[in-house]
Structure 1
């Protein structure tokens, strides 16, 4: 069942989330992501929006799988810190 969902999910066109006017949370999250190094942003978007596995991202970028994990973790930490005072 999970495999069918993942296959269906990959067929969806790549969409960028749209911020609602005046949505402070989304604006802060986008600003936090924009402030990250280029490779970190690329790895994050490949994983979240292109639905690529860590192994595939590592092969495409020519880096280790552990490094991919680090980039994703760094992005999530940056977003959480940017949204920390809003919760």
Structure 2
């Protein structure tokens, strides 16, 4: 009996559409309207790629508070971009 080695194929990826200027502008306005600490937590997580635990240690806050700030940011972004989808 022959053994066949199955290789995983890379999933086909659809090319991403470039975000429109209106989406970017609305996202920027939504983020700018957030409290300073919420913005800071969001940027640390998304752009500095820090874990919730590292953010909590760096800002001397609870991990649950970090989760709340991220959730608040995502909710604000969804609301701001809701009618553009």
Q: TM-score, normalised by structure 2?
A: 0.76
Q: Which runs of 5+ in 2 are unaligned?
A: 1-18
Which one has the largest radius of gyration? 2
- Quick check: which one's helix share is greater? 1
Q: Give aligned pairs, total.
A: 67
Determine the structure 2 residue equivalent to 1:63. Answer: 61
Counterparts of 1:49 and 1:70 in 2: how far apart (Å)? 18
Q: Which runs of 5+ in 1 are unaligned?
A: 1-19
Q: RMSD of the alignment, in Å?
A: 1.2
Aligned structure 1 segments of 4 or more residues deviating by more than 4 angstroms = none
Q: How far does the alpha carbon of each residue in 1:30-62 deviate from its partner, in whole angstroms, 9 at most, with x for none? A: 100000000000000000000000000000111
Q: TM-score, normalised by structure 1?
A: 0.74
Determine the structure 2 residue equivalent to 1:82. Answer: 80
